[in-house]
Structure 1
């Protein structure tokens, strides 16, 4: 029996939504404050995925200026109907305190995608679209029940028709569901499906932490009433404990293959070093069957496993991305991201061919801003990262280097700069709960410096060198748990990136990175 290993998207790829078009599968995930927004993945076998673009890749589509960490783009839904792809999502805090829902369209999932169609009077988060047999389109989302919340985080799922001509919701709003179990909370992430003679309403409940769960209800009528499955929740790992190998399972979407099988994608995390989840919420795949007209997830086991039987689809692997990016391409690889919408031309791949040039900006990665930063997701429990940096600091506040980032208040920076005596140094800076501390430093004299980080679980080691492969230890056994959402809060996973900053001052300086290598261990 051929098997695959979960997760199918490793690292910070939460809230997956999937659709099938013929023999092709497409999937999107949340991106919160990172830009470009909503990565688009393509697969032929549901197991092997390659990124083909981003849905929101232009500032006109996605303005993240001033968006706090773990706000921004929540829970996209991807659907396809009559030659058109639809992606609908929530931008949290487009305006202070406001949550606004919108959708975009494309005929090619790789793009380009349209500018947003903003929806009026569409409260709540996690919108979804359902195309019924009669050609009508319906929106589902969550909201506070009209009668008020009966307990904390009590929400309901509601439905309204969407007019694709006017790009607005029309007609009455219908209340569909407000809890599979009494006192279930944070009802969200609803999706509608029509299978056989029933409409099925798939829901995430219990919050996106360790009590997360997937529940389902059905009705013979679109607008209800809906009855809950007596087996609810149909998928959860909360009974397995916080240190189980796969935790906080929930937020699912369903897809039927061309061979008739049903599969579920969902988010979950891989805790390590205790209950800590540095990689945030990742995308997992689990088999599903039907029994008595109800879904049965991983029959006989009812949980997600690290190794599971493959779908009955021809295996289709994509060429592996190289571990080392030499910055030789005319554009950044799709795995690289910025923090918030990039403002100003602060990076270049052409000014010094074969290098990524980052210009120093006054903004820093320790504030809610768009810093001079390019990063990628941590995707492995243990890993090694290294880079070669060409940088000559001209002022005490100028710095550049490697950063392990959870958010602006929780990070480690292995950076080059000047000390109080204006001598060049390499230093390790921790930032915990917004308080910075130089853990160690070493004076150097070099135009080029090599930087390396190795993670063995939650133990981090930081090295530097002034000659290739001539590594000098700077710090070891550094605590990695500050990079977990369990310590730092929020909804994102850790990033590893390159940065350059003049920390509040104006500067014409720049830092050149020759390569960036990431290897999972």
Structure 2
């Protein structure tokens, strides 16, 4: 047996979906406005995971420009059928004239490339696919009820899909409008078949504290469906906001080759009060069956802190590039995500993301050194800044630990007067913290800024410390800017010298709204002025503390 600690994927990896293929398991999660989008993970045994790529990763595949924070890619479903991987999802809030809504992409290799999207002519979001034994393919999803019995009542619809043409049948069946009277947002539907019965798995209650997992069953795929008397079959809402994990829901099921069943679900880990800066994370849940119904986390009824997975594997072969990191612990030797040595985050690390467009649109890896090591990036300074729903010069990774130290070594000789570059703790366009070097005709200025609800406050501003100026004369325009966290106490620093403190509670989704955890990264901008400047990110380190 291998003991796997939860969460399975730390940081903002919400809305997990998984499937099993001949060579193992594959998992995907939502990414909203970040690019590349839809990270694909692989495991041979449910215990050891590696990221192998992204499903949306190239120019022209999808248009994200203008999509606001917490818009974009919502709630994917991944399925495998007869040698092909299928992924259905929703692109929310596209700019006017750009394609959006529900789409289907496919791949024979889940590491990519994935196809261009086939846009599906159906309303709503959270689509899913079900391949029935008779060869029919069923698309199902969620939307608000046109004439609801109560506010925010939604319904699960079902239509047949032609995979060859991408045409969705006009004939529609409403499968479900919620397990509970007054239950809101019955969403995230997934259909399964077991022992001749059909099962409809859904989430209900919204994505915050009241989130839950519901299930219904029927003798035919089109219903009628009867709810499990035990609903909700998984939730933490009765534990209160002080529980170690809250908001549990949005589950997906998979059967292992040995006949055991497993689920992934999202949840949030609050700390410093009812705040969850890491966002919605992915958890692994054991499942058994009793009297024709699944039992999630049998004997516990809640997400387990650790899961015993029946495997003798010691590690997933290959796959050194993976985003989800666990703190150094027993998990790194007995399960979890592969290739997760804390420290330097090189350009080939799949944790890196940009906003709304490929990283290559503004950055390139540094040439390898004599030892073959490639540690950093060269970034073009761009007029766009972090407050605009476009693609600024921003590179970031998810915050994946409550306490961490991140340090960016930046070479800024290429900055022109009026330009700035530095580090950022990002929630959205309207909510972020920056520590940056501003190039002025009189010399460089170090400035820490807090942006909340679109209003900016300078929390520290002064010339670079004399010690740093002397170092720059000897070593070039190198600065080491840092962001650290000890739970909700964040600190900004230069070369290890404290500059400003920030209360992290102002940045989580309880305070700001939306659906995202925090990202930590670097940026560069000319604040609207034309520019040909570049900067160099020579090294970026991220270490759990």
Matched, 1:134 2:158: no
Partner of 2:217: 218
Partner of 1:434: 454
Question: Which of 479, 486, 500 is residue 524 of structure 2 equivalent to?
Answer: 500
Q: Pairwise mapping of residues 358-397 of structure 1 onto structure 2 (< 5 A)?
A: 358-392=379-413, 394-395=415-416, 397=418
Shift of 1:357: 1.0
Shift of 1:395: 4.7
CA distance in 2, matches of 1:326, 1:182: 49
Partner of 2:80: 80
Matched, 1:449 2:479: yes
Bigger Cα displacement from structure 2, 388-397 vs 150-159: 388-397
Q: Is the 8 A contact 1:37 1:62 kept in 2?
A: no
Matched, 1:312 2:333: no
Shift of 1:352: 8.6
CA distance in 1, matches of 2:415, 2:189: 53
Shift of 1:489: 1.1
Shift of 1:393: 6.8
Shift of 1:144: 2.8
CA distance in 1, matches of 2:538, 2:94: 37
- Encode CA deviations 1:187-207: one digit per residue, 9 max, x unaligned: 111000000121000001100
Matched, 1:520 2:541: no
Taking structure 1 as reference, are residues 171 and 361 closer, same or farther at Cα in structure 2, changes over 3 Å only?
A: same
Shift of 1:313: 2.5
Shift of 1:473: 1.9
Shift of 1:99: 5.4
Q: Per the alignment, in what secondary structure is the counterpart of residue 15 of structure 2?
A: coil
Shift of 1:346: 1.6
Partner of 1:487: 511
Q: Is the 8 A contact 2:285 2:296 kept in 1?
A: yes
Q: Give the superposed CA RMSD.
A: 1.8
Q: Pairwise mapping of residues 87-126 of structure 1 onto structure 2 (< 5 A)?
A: 87-96=87-96, 100-120=101-121, 122-126=122-126
- Encode CA deviations 1:492-518: one digit per residue, 9 max, x unaligned: 110011111111111121111111000
Shift of 1:344: 7.5
Matched, 1:325 2:341: no
Q: Is the 8 A contact 1:30 1:75 kept in 2?
A: yes
Q: Is the 8 A contact 2:190 2:200 kept in 1?
A: yes
CA distance in 1, matches of 2:64, 2:442: 36
CA distance in 1, matches of 2:419, 2:506: 25
- Encode CA deviations 1:250-289: one digit per residue, 9 max, x unaligned: 0000011111111110111111111101111010011111
Q: Is the 8 A contact 2:415 2:535 kept in 1?
A: no
Taking structure 1 as reference, are residues 165 and 450 closer, same or farther at Cα in structure 2, changes over 3 Å only?
A: same
Q: Pairwise mapping of residues 73-472 of structure 1 onto structure 2 (< 5 A)?
A: 73-96=73-96, 100-120=101-121, 122-146=122-146, 148-308=147-307, 310-318=308-316, 319-325=338-344, 327=346, 332-342=348-358, 345-350=361-366, 354=374, 355-392=376-413, 394-395=415-416, 397-418=418-439, 422-444=442-464, 445=469, 446=472, 447-465=477-495, 471-472=496-497
CA distance in 2, matches of 1:393, 1:427: 19
Partner of 1:21: 21
Q: Is the 8 A contact 1:22 1:258 kept in 2?
A: no
Q: Per the alignment, in what secondary structure is the counterpart of residue 168 of structure 1?
A: coil
Q: Per the alignment, in what secondary structure is the counterpart of residue 507 of structure 1?
A: coil
Shift of 1:182: 0.2
Shift of 1:96: 4.4
Shift of 1:396: 5.0
Taking structure 1 as reference, are residues 363 and 413 closer, same or farther at Cα in structure 2, changes over 3 Å only?
A: same
Shift of 1:464: 0.7
Q: Is the 8 A contact 2:104 2:117 kept in 1?
A: yes
Structure 1: stretches of 5+ with no match in the other structure: 466-470
Shift of 1:423: 2.5
Q: Is the 8 A contact 1:393 1:417 kept in 2?
A: no
Structure 2: stretches of 5+ with no match in the other structure: 317-337
- Encode CA deviations 1:90-123: one digit per residue, 9 max, x unaligned: 0112344985101011111111111001112x10
Taking structure 1 as reference, are residues 343 and 46 closer, same or farther at Cα in structure 2, changes over 3 Å only?
A: closer
CA distance in 1, matches of 2:481, 2:184: 45
Q: Is the 8 A contact 1:409 1:435 kept in 2?
A: yes
Shift of 1:311: 1.9
Q: Per the alignment, in what secondary structure is the counterpart of residue 481 of structure 1?
A: helix
Q: Is the 8 A contact 1:253 1:266 kept in 2?
A: yes
Q: Per the alignment, in what secondary structure is the counterpart of residue 163 of structure 1?
A: coil
Taking structure 1 as reference, are residues 185 and 345 closer, same or farther at Cα in structure 2, changes over 3 Å only?
A: closer
CA distance in 2, matches of 1:317, 1:386: 29
Q: Per the alignment, in what secondary structure is the counterpart of residue 10 of structure 1?
A: coil
Tell me the TM-score normalised to structure 2 length.
0.90
Q: May I ask how many residue pairs the two structures share in their alignment?
A: 508
Matched, 1:40 2:40: yes
- Encode CA deviations 1:12-54: one digit per residue, 9 max, x unaligned: 0000010011350100000110111100000112122110000
Bigger Cα displacement from structure 2, 295-304 vs 175-184: 295-304
- Encode CA deviations 1:117-157: one digit per residue, 9 max, x unaligned: 1112x1000000000000110000012335x1222211100
CA distance in 1, matches of 2:124, 2:418: 43
Shift of 1:314: 2.8
Shift of 1:418: 3.4
